Structure 1
Amino acid sequence: MPSSVDARPVGATSPGTYAELRDRLAGGSIKLPRRLQQVAAYALAHPDDVALGTVAKIAEDAGVQPSALIRFAQTLGFSGFTDLQAVFRERLLSQVTNYDERLMSLRATGGETSKAGMLLDGLCKSATQSIGQLHARIDIDSVERATRILAEAETIYLVAQRRSFPITSYLSYALGKLGIRNILIGSAVGTDPETISFATPRDAALAISFTPYAPATIAHTRELGDAGVPLVVITDSPFSPLASDSRIWFEVVETDFQGFRSLSASMALAMTLALGVADRRQG
Structure 2
Amino acid sequence: MSDVTAKELPPQDFDALRAAILERKAELPKRLTQVAAYALDHPDEIAFGTAASIAVSADVQPSTLVRFAQHFGFDGFSGLQLLFRARLRERTSSYEERLLTLEQNGAALAESTTIFNGFISAAHRSIDAIAAAVEPDAFERAVTLLAKAETIYLIAKRRSYPISSYMAYAFGKLRVKCQLVGTSAGIDDDLLAMATPRDAAFAVSFSPYASESAAQARMLSSRGIPVVSLTDSAFSPLAECSKEWFEVVEADHAGFRSLSASMAFAMALTVSIAEKRRRQ
Short-chain TM bin:
over 0.9
Quick check: 2:103–2:109 contact (8 Å CA) kept in 1? no
**CA distance in structure 2 between the aligned counterparts of 1:141 and 1:203, rounded to whole angstroms:** 21
1:167 and 2:157 aligned: no
Quick check: 1:36–1:72 contact (8 Å CA) kept in 2? yes
1:123 and 2:119 aligned: yes
Residue 281 of structure 1 aligns with an amino acid whose one-letter code is R
Name the TM-score, length of structure 1 as normaliser: 0.91
Cα 1:113/1:189, change in 2 over 3 Å: closer
Q: Hey, what does 1:151 align to over in structure 2?
A: 147
1:204 and 2:200 aligned: yes
1:51 and 2:53 aligned: no
1:26 and 2:22 aligned: yes
Residue 236 of structure 2 aligns with an amino acid whose one-letter code is S
**CA distance in structure 2 between the aligned counterparts of 1:256 and 1:135, rounded to whole angstroms:** 17
**CA distance in structure 1 between the aligned counterparts of 2:92 and 2:104, rounded to whole angstroms:** 14
**CA distance in structure 1 between the aligned counterparts of 2:33 and 2:239, rounded to whole angstroms:** 13
Q: Would you tell me which structure has more helix in proportion to its own residues? A: 2
User: How far does residue 279 in structure 1 lie from its aligned partner after superposition?
Assistant: 1.3
User: How far does residue 30 in structure 1 lie from its aligned partner after superposition?
Assistant: 5.9
Quick check: 1:96–1:102 contact (8 Å CA) kept in 2? no
- CA deviations 1:37-57 (Å, max 9, x no partner) are 221111112222212211001
Structure 1 segments unaligned to the other structure (5+ residues): 1-9
Q: Hey, what does 1:177 align to over in structure 2?
A: 173
> Which 10-residue stretch deviates more, 144-153 or 109-118?
109-118
**CA distance in structure 1 between the aligned counterparts of 2:89 and 2:209, rounded to whole angstroms:** 21
1:192 and 2:188 aligned: yes
Structure 2 segments unaligned to the other structure (5+ residues): 1-5
| Percent identity (aligned) | 49
1:134 and 2:158 aligned: no
Q: Hey, what does 1:277 align to over in structure 2?
A: 273
Cα 1:93/1:140, change in 2 over 3 Å: same
- CA deviations 1:102-154 (Å, max 9, x no partner) are 12322343456843112211111101110011112210110000000000100
Cα 1:152/1:27, change in 2 over 3 Å: same
User: How far does residue 77 in structure 1 lie from its aligned partner after superposition?
Assistant: 2.1
Q: How does 1:88-107 map to 2 (within 5 A)?
A: 88-107=84-103
Q: Hey, what does 2:71 align to over in structure 1?
A: 75
Q: How does 1:34-49 map to 2 (within 5 A)?
A: 34-49=30-45
Name the TM-score, length of structure 2 as normaliser: 0.92
Q: Between Structure 1 and Structure 2, how many residues are aligned?
A: 274
Cα 1:113/1:64, change in 2 over 3 Å: closer
- CA deviations 1:198-241 (Å, max 9, x no partner) are 01111000000000001111111111111111000100000001
Quick check: 1:199–1:227 contact (8 Å CA) kept in 2? no
**CA distance in structure 2 between the aligned counterparts of 1:246 and 1:264, rounded to whole angstroms:** 23
Residue 184 of structure 1 aligns with an amino acid whose one-letter code is L
1:236 and 2:241 aligned: no
**CA distance in structure 2 between the aligned counterparts of 1:62 and 1:169, rounded to whole angstroms:** 34
**CA distance in structure 2 between the aligned counterparts of 1:253 and 1:92, rounded to whole angstroms:** 17
User: How far does residue 183 in structure 1 lie from its aligned partner after superposition?
Assistant: 0.1
User: How far does residue 176 in structure 1 lie from its aligned partner after superposition?
Assistant: 0.9
User: How far does residue 96 in structure 1 lie from its aligned partner after superposition?
Assistant: 4.8
Residue 145 of structure 2 aligns with an amino acid whose one-letter code is I
Provide the alpha-carbon RMSD of the alignment: 1.7
User: How far does residue 80 in structure 1 lie from its aligned partner after superposition?
Assistant: 1.7
